[in-house]
Structure 1
Amino acid sequence: MKLNFDYKGTKITYDLTYKKTKAISIKITEEGKVNVIAPIGTSIYAVMDKVKGNAPWIISELYRNRPQASQSQLLEQYTYLGKNYKLEIVTSSELKEIKVKMLRGKLVVETYTESTAEIRQAIIDWYKQKVNAKIKERLKAYKEMFEMVPAQVEVMDDNTILFRSDETCITANVRVGIMPVEIIDYILVSSLCRINGLVDGKEVGKMEEIIPSFEKSKEWLEENKNKLTL
């Protein structure tokens, strides 16, 4: 039996099978299919409630298992600070280097080569510069609110790291640039709280003081951190 439901704008479809088993189980296949097995006689509404209750985990697993884009593949559009920009490539033999810029609501790449690998790397480098500048800009906004603020910022194209920080340096994944500014602010302030020894109730109090809607940002990050693709 095939069922589906909508979870915060994402349609989740799953196959329900009844078998002689003790409890409802949910499995995600390598192909991205959601299979649900329920004990014979279980109310369909009980099954639906169980699956809906696991929606955040299901979405996370679906995106975690999704094949990563090829290192030489370009996207039709790129997301920067939460907004989408259609990719436009302009080729000219007169150019000596690849230039990337925002122009007329598009991400424009002026290039002397048709190599998708080189173009993609230029886009990644552009994101690195933008993310580095944006993090430093947001740090200035919170500098007076904390005793310790890292002075260095490093941006990497490394899928094993999303964001980490200590007293001296912030290391961010280039894909942080995909996030809306309020999500970047949430990550920064949360890190600054930890660096300055604010934990548990003190951290929550500080977060509520600086970013009243931080719970929404936390939820967004949990749901979307595995969807950030460049």
Structure 2
Amino acid sequence: MNVSGIDIAIQKSERKTVSIFIERDGSVSARVPAKLNDDEIKDILEAKEYQIFKNLAEWTQLNENAVEREYVNGQSFLYLGRNYRLKIVKESSGIVRFFRNTFYLGEKDQPKAKELFIQFYKEKLNSKIHPIIERYKDQLGVAPQQIKVMELQNRWASCTPSGNVNFHWKCAMAPIDVLHYMVVHELAHLIHNNHTQAFWNEVDKILPNYDEQINWLKINGSGMDL
């Protein structure tokens, strides 16, 4: 649906209010009550025009932190919230190695460097995320089914109706306390599949300072890329 020159993806669900989201790629989506017809939806969105443009302007400002990385000597890569330099070496091991605060990549592996970095992040996130889930699932009284690390396009994480919880491999670039927030956020969705106040109350019970983690993602999220 086009509103004031902006294409907005509409998602209908059994909810009572309209929520507008600026996705990580800058696209706009709105989640609306299923009972609303197109004219009603358009009227509501037009009334929220100022909010939409304000949020888009904020997204543009925050994404000035976006970087385009090259797989060369001295390039920095994020891991657990900190930047570490890449060193190209003659020996090719077919993997990205991380040793003493430095990434190592073989000369012959440079053509597939992005693929190898993704593999590195997936493996590291898998090793980090499961203990965090074990820590919080009993506190929240939930039982997640499958836990997967994968490509999620514009989302950091997702929770399916069947109870599966997925995390983007890029989450391995975030600090540990932000990972804790991501886990609690998704586990809380096993109780409330929405972003109502009841949902945020569940998050707040476990992480009273979750606003700090959200703010970190807002400021640094655009830099979590390859």
TM-score range, shorter chain: 0.5 to 0.7
1: CA distance, partners of 2:131 / 2:222: 25
**Equivalence for 1:181:** 176
Report the structure, 1 or 2, having the larger helix content. 2
**Equivalence for 2:121:** 127
TM-score (norm 2): 0.64
**Equivalence for 1:103:** 99
Compute the displacement of 1:217 (Å).
Answer: 1.2
2: CA distance, partners of 1:67 / 1:85: 17
Report the structure, 1 or 2, having the larger strand content. 1
2: CA distance, partners of 1:206 / 1:160: 24
1:203 alignment partner, SS class: helix
**Equivalence for 2:110:** 116
1: CA distance, partners of 2:220 / 2:149: 19
Are residues 77 and 112 of structure 1, via their aligned partners in 2, closer, same or farther at CA, if it must alter by over 3 Å?
closer
CA RMSD in angstroms comes to: 3.1
**Equivalence for 1:74:** 71
By relative contact order (CA 8 Å, sep 6+), the higher-ranking structure is 2
Compute the displacement of 1:151 (Å).
Answer: 3.3
Q: Verify: 1:160 aligned to 2:167, yes or no.
A: no
Q: Which has the larger radius of gyration?
A: 1
Tell me the amino acid that sits aligned with residue 163 of structure 1: A
Tell me the amino acid that sits aligned with residue 183 of structure 1: V
TM-score (norm 1): 0.63
Q: Is the 8 A contact 1:143 1:149 kept in 2?
A: yes
**Equivalence for 1:145:** 139
1: CA distance, partners of 2:104 / 2:146: 29
Cα deviation code 1:27-82 (max 9, x no counterpart): xxxxxxxxxxxxxxxxxxxxxxxxxxx6x754521565898848xx4260111110
Q: Is the 8 A contact 2:66 2:223 kept in 1?
A: no
Q: Which runs of 5 or more residues in structure 1 are unaligned?
A: 1-53
2:189 alignment partner, SS class: helix
Q: Which runs of 5 or more residues in structure 2 are unaligned?
A: 1-53
Tell me the amino acid that sits aligned with residue 222 of structure 1: K
Equivalent runs, 1:54-93 vs 2, <5 Å = 57-62=56-61, 69=68, 73-74=70-71, 76-92=75-91
Are residues 117 and 160 of structure 1, via their aligned partners in 2, closer, same or farther at CA, if it must alter by over 3 Å?
farther
Q: Is the 8 A contact 2:88 2:107 kept in 1?
A: no
Compute the displacement of 1:149 (Å).
Answer: 3.1
2: CA distance, partners of 1:106 / 1:220: 24
2: CA distance, partners of 1:180 / 1:58: 26
Tell me the amino acid that sits aligned with residue 208 of structure 1: D
Cα deviation code 1:139-166 (max 9, x no counterpart): 0111211232323222224533421113
Are residues 159 and 91 of structure 1, via their aligned partners in 2, closer, same or farther at CA, if it must alter by over 3 Å?
farther
